[in-house]
Structure 1
Amino acid sequence: MRNQIEFVVYGKYALFTDPVTRIGGEKFTYQIPTYEALKGIVESIYWKPTITWIIDEVRVMEPIQTEVKGMRPAKYQDASNDLAYYTYLRAPKYQVRAHFEFNEQRPDLAYDRNEHKHHNIAKRSVERGGRRDIYLGTRECQGYVEACVFGSGQSFYDGYGDIAFGPMFHGFTYPDEAENSEWQARIWSPTMKDGVITFVRPEACEVVRPLGKGNAKSFVKGQNFKTVDEEYEELFGEAEL
């Protein structure tokens, strides 16, 4: 597929939760990463509002194991601490395949649609481990990114068969990605086949919950936005790829 990148992401712990449970109390991780969590990782590798990342597949490399840790989160009503138990995924490792498309809901950034340079900067960013810090679901779960060939190496779930995970959170559709500027939450029911989960596209999710209206942030060239050509020259010099 065009504009595709492949990488492996891993860390000591991961915490992929339903956003509804993020308000407070005890947190329990999903068994697999959500589409939105992987999209956040890819956007930490490289992102501009001109493009939208689509997560194609994830391959679970290590056995799904959880670990409970006692935490002392701050209370919302005062400055004291509370006691809670968080359930994390232990030693997660995933191969990810994703590609980008131009965001058709941002016609104001049409002048930045340079497919070739966006793709090359994204691939270079993967090789350098990302442009921003990588987190596996939540900030206390630091992650690390390396370039790889999707499907290479041995997965714990090779030849394992199908595993269904039931309904779970897929991701958010933000106002600058939706035709009606509506903020939405998507739900889907994934099935892992021999360790590989193939994601449905955001618009193919059958269960969608509206969360409200919003406005896309305005980007103005020369004020708070650089074109990919300007950024490319700043990073790699004037040579064309």
Structure 2
Amino acid sequence: MGYGIKLKVWGDYACFSRPEMKVERVSYDVITPSAARGILEAVYWKPAIRWVIDEIRVIKPIKFDNIKRNELSGVIPSNTVKRAYLGNKEVNLYQSTKDIVQRGAMVLKDVCYYITAHFELTSSVGETDTVEKHYNIALRRAKKGQCFHRPYLGCREFSAQFELVDEDYEESFYENSEKDLGYMLWDIDFKNKSLPIFFRPTMKDGVISIPDLQRGDIL
């Protein structure tokens, strides 16, 4: 296991969309491992390292809220993007209100998580890449609140605040309890035709232990 890091992440709203809901978004009860990894990659990412989520601690009670969101009614075809990239001025992209629809969403409200993770060196490591080097850079960026782009909680409009955790955890609302969270998205296997991988986590005393498929853990 590589060097570890702990982040406190919080925000007013979050939406970690369930893939089985086809039209209107419905969030999972808690943050997914892939979303947690995305937050760490927003703070510090290099091809030479791979972030691995070890544990997620849920601090505040799980609360849902129903809101309305403006979304596009479809996706832009890849051929349209290619024509625009090649300089075709007659390409029509989504620019008018007729391409926007209003949909409902069941989102999480007032969330706070503690993310425990570590990173491992990848096959893209260079001669000057060491664990200590990347660990110190990641710590420095997290302490200063630096990020490549603003981390978000599932959807980009739900921005996340974060800070490095040096002391003990805050007490979870779910201390002395156990909750089956059902099947949840673990991550996307981009090396295998973007295959989605699911697992069934259990939250014990507010803590969710995350397996690592690439390390051989059993989901």
Q: Normalized against structure 1, the TM-score is what?
A: 0.74
Match of 1:101 in 2: 120
Asked if structure 1 preserves the Cα contact closer than 8 Å seen for 2:2 and 2:131, the reply is no
- Judge which range, 130-139 or 185-194, deviates more: 130-139
Match of 2:156 in 1: 139
Cα RMSD after superposing both structures: 2.1
Instruction: Tell which has more relative contact order, 1 or 2 (C-alpha 8 A, sep 6+).
Output: 2
Cα distance in structure 1, aligned partners of 2:68 and 2:193: 38
Q: Per residue, is there more strand in 1 or in 2?
A: 2
Match of 1:234 in 2: none
Do residues 124 (structure 1) and 140 (structure 2) align? yes
Residues 74 and 169 of structure 1: CA distance in aligned 2, closer, same or farther (over 3 Å): same
Cα distance in structure 1, aligned partners of 2:110 and 2:3: 30
**Aligned to 1:121, what secondary structure does the other structure show?**
helix
Give % identity: 31
Which structure 2 segments of 5+ residues have no match?
76-93
Which structure 1 segments of 5+ residues have no match?
176-180, 208-241
Match of 1:40 in 2: 38
Moved over 6 A (4+): none
Do residues 193 (structure 1) and 209 (structure 2) align? no
1:6-64 Cα shifts (integer Å, max 9, x gaps): 1100011001013565xx72100000111100000010110101000000001000000
Match of 1:69 in 2: 67
Cα distance in structure 1, aligned partners of 2:210 and 2:153: 18
Asked if structure 1 preserves the Cα contact closer than 8 Å seen for 2:184 and 2:200, the reply is yes
AA matched with 2:190: Y
Q: Normalized against structure 2, the TM-score is what?
A: 0.82
Question: 1:183: how far off?
Answer: 3.5
Do residues 87 (structure 1) and 106 (structure 2) align? yes
Match of 1:184 in 2: 195
Asked if structure 1 preserves the Cα contact closer than 8 Å seen for 2:18 and 2:25, the reply is no
AA matched with 1:110: G
Cα distance in structure 2, aligned partners of 1:82 and 1:58: 34
Asked if structure 2 preserves the Cα contact closer than 8 Å seen for 1:7 and 1:150, the reply is no
